[in-house]
Structure formats: C-alpha cells, structure tokens
Amino acid sequence: MKIDEDILNSIIEYGVKAPSGDNCQPWRFRFDKDRLLIINDEARDTSLYNVRNIASFVAHGALLENMQIAAVSFGYDMAAVLFPKGEKNSVIAAVEFKRSQAKADELFPYIRKRCTNRWPYLRVELEENITRALREEAMSFPGGEVFLAGGEREKKIIAGAASLNDRLLFENRRLHDFLFDHIRWTEKEAKETRDGLDIMTLGLNPVQRRLFKALKSWEFVKTLNRVGLSRLVPMQTYKLIKGSSAVGLVAMKGTSPESFVAGGRLLERVWLRATSLGLSFQPITGSTFLIQRLYLTDGEGLDNAHKDLLLGAEKELKRVFPIEKDNAIIMLFRVGYASTPVLSLRLPAKIEKG
Ligand SMILES: Cc1cc2nc3c(=O)[nH]c(=O)nc-3n(C[C@H](O)[C@H](O)[C@H](O)COP(=O)(O)O)c2cc1C
C-alpha cells in the first residue's frame, strides 16, 4: 500500500470515531496484499436491532465516510469496493489509497466533536438555512434522502412511535439484557472496556442513574411491570422527542447490504453537518430497526403483541415520513440545541497482518 503507516493509522483512528449501535464498534481491519480490508465482527453486535447486520452496516458506512474525509485531509484519495467478490460476506470493503491534491473536507474538524446527545434540548425552531443545509447533504448520495419535521403534530407522532422502543426494552428479555450488558456503570469500567454505553452519556440525573442500575435485574423489572413500569418509561423519551427542535429520518433507496452502508455514509455526513451547525443530535431509532426485523425475519424474537405494536408504530411513522418497503430506513433521529455531553470512548484500532 502506497501510504505511510502512521497516516494510515490516523485515518483509521478518525474512522472509528463513527457511531455504532450501543457503541459495539463492530469492525476489524486487515492488510491483504495492497488493500486494507474492513471486516464486520458479527460477534460484537448480536442485538435484536441488528437484524441481518443492518445496524452494523450503517455503522460501517459511517466509519468509511470518516475515513474518506480524513484521508482527503491527509492528502490521499480513498477508493472503497463494497463487499468485494471472492471475499467472505463479513468483508464490508476493500480500501486503497492514492496520493491526491483534493481539497480538505470542511467536515473533517467535526469528526472528533460528533456525539450522541441524550439530554433535553432547548425548544427552539430550526431556521430555514439549517434545515436546508441538512437536506442538502443527501444530494451527493444518489438514492439518499433526509426528511425533517418540526411541527408539534409531527413531533408528537414520532415521539409516540419511537418511544415504543423503551416499552419493549422492559418487556422483552433479549432487548433488556443486551442493553444492560452494554452499560458501563463507572468511569473505571468505561475506561477499561472503551466500548458500550458509559452511564454518564445516557442523559440521566443522579436519582435516575441509581434507579436505572436497579433495573438491571430482569426479575425486578418483571415485578415492577405489574405496576406499570414498562408503560411509564416511554413517557420520558416521549417528552425528550416532543421537546426537540425537529425530528428527522435518513433513508436510502434499496434494501441490499450496500444500501445500508451507503445510508451509513450519508447519516455520518448529516450528523457531522449538524455538529458543524452547533446542533445536538440523537438517534431514536430502536423501533425502526425492530420494524425492519418484522419484514426480514418475520419478527423472530418478538412476541405477537409486540409485533402488532410495531406494525402500529410503522403506520404512525408513515403519517410523517414517506417510508417505503423498497427503501432502507437508516435512522430516525431528533435534533436541537443543548450543551456538549460526555463523549464516549473507543477501543484502539489494530490492523491485523494478512
Ligand atoms: C445504527 C445505530 C443505531 C443507534 N440507535 C440509537 C438509539 O436508538 N438511541 C440512542 O440513544 N443512540 C443510538 N445510537 C447511537 C450510539 O449509541 C452511539 O453512536 C454510540 O454509543 C457511540 O457514541 P457517540 O455517538 O456519542 O460517539 C445508534 C447508533 C447507530 C450507528
């Protein structure tokens, strides 16, 4: 590979700043002849959301976009062949670098600043130039679209459909256990593992944090559900979403693995653009991945009552956003203004020699 090893390591370091479901960081890197292979480590995200690896494909798209932006800024052009022929399905991309004179990408400085902000946002409307800038990011991606809605009615509908996820988290044991296995309860644990969700990034006050820790026990959750816990939890998320400036959806034409990777690239650009505009951003997308699970696996792992609730949520989402079966739903999100939260950590990226 005609690229200095230190520069390559820096490009990868920027790459892994990408978002991933529950901060699973489902990637590995391997040198193979002149190419860098980017591999999906399926064992890292076994959640019900990650149906047929689509959540991981989105994360890999974001990783590739960060790497591309960083490469150009270091004076290299990056060519990525997705799912290269002759390789295992887990190889997401074969990447090569060439010296280039291309102009640095203006989003580069925001890779280190981009983060998920789960705190309440200020109730201010987005200005027209802000919504335009976010929508325009989709223009460089054939088949990609970014929809935004800031009306009270739309925000309420999305808040209802998205907060259903929080109910399911406390009624479905697999969803519950996966989430709680990924919470890092202390600063020490967060620093040692450098993955998962640091409790301090969850937007909880000290009382809520203590309560949340008790909910790690499924038996306790089951008992509290008898007095309505799982119906109560979504109310907090509902309020957060309703109180944001706007809700949005990133969608991509097609439903192939390539569509989800391309959608992840677009998502990262939208998120970086939002960061550059001083906006806070939070995915609120558990329900949309579970809806896709209904179609891709007949809802394996979900009971019939929950399948019906998800079909109802899908109908509601369609009242606000044009969701179509032959499009990949990449992410539902909320945006608004808030102060910078605690940033989450990353594992050091190692390149395996081929
Ligand atoms: C496909 C995907 C789905 C996600 N879904 C949610 C979600 O529903 N709620 C949420 O708060 N964060 C969600 N996230 C954000 C991740 O938890 C977050 O990116 C990760 O913890 C790393 O933190 P950072 O974004 O602050 O770097 C999602 C991220 C990805 C890539």
DSSP calls for 147-181: EEE-SHHHHHHHHHHHHHHHHHHTT-HHHHHHHHH
How far, in Å, from the CA of 284 to the mean position of ligand 1?
A: 8
> Does ligand 1 come within 6 angstroms of the Cβ of 117?
no
**CA–CA distance, 92 with 182 (Å, rounded to integer):** 24
- The CA 115 to ligand 1 mean position distance, Å, reads 9
Atom 18, ligand 1: which residue's CA is nearest? 19
What are the pLDDT digits (tens) for 164-207?
Answer: 999 999 999 999 999 999 999 999 999 999 999 999 999 999 99
Q: In DSSP terms, which residues pair with 337 in a beta bridge?
A: 122
Residue 74 is predicted with a pLDDT of 96
Residues 27 and 58 both lie in one domain: yes
List pLDDT tens digits, range 198-244.
999 999 999 999 999 999 999 999 999 999 999 999 999 999 999 99
- Same domain flag for 79 and 154: no
The answer to whether residue 354 sits within a structural domain is no
What is the share, in percent, of the chain residues with pLDDT greater than 90?
94
CA 286 to ligand 1: nearest atom: 8
Same domain, 234 and 278: yes
**Residue at 319 is within a domain:** yes
Answering whether pTM is above 0.75, one says yes
Q: Where residue 77 sits, what CATH number does that domain have?
A: 3.40.109.10
Tally the domains of the chain. Answer: 2
313 and 171 housed in the same domain: yes
- Asked if residue 19 is part of any domain, the answer here is yes
116 lines ligand 1 (CB under 6 A): yes
Q: Are residues 182 and 48 in the same domain?
A: no
Q: Is 284 in the pocket of ligand 1 (CB under 6 A)?
A: yes
152 and 57 in a common domain = no
Greatest extent of the chain over all pairs of C-alpha atoms, in Å: 64
- Going by CA atoms, what residue is nearest to atom 21 of ligand 1? 23
Same domain, 325 and 220: yes
Does the Cβ of 20 fall within 6 Å of ligand 1?
yes
Tokens of 219: 């038996």
| Segments forming the whole domain that contains residue 22 | 5-111
Residue 346 lies in a domain: no
Same domain, 179 and 287: yes
pLDDT band at residue 33 under the 50/70/90 scheme = confident
23 close to ligand 1 (CB < 6 Angstrom): yes
Cα(37) to centroid(ligand 1), Å:
24
Model pLDDT for residues 336-354, shown as the tens digit of each residue: 999 999 999 999 988 998 7
Residue where a domain terminates, one of 52, 82, 111:
111
Q: Same structural domain for residues 86 and 179? A: no
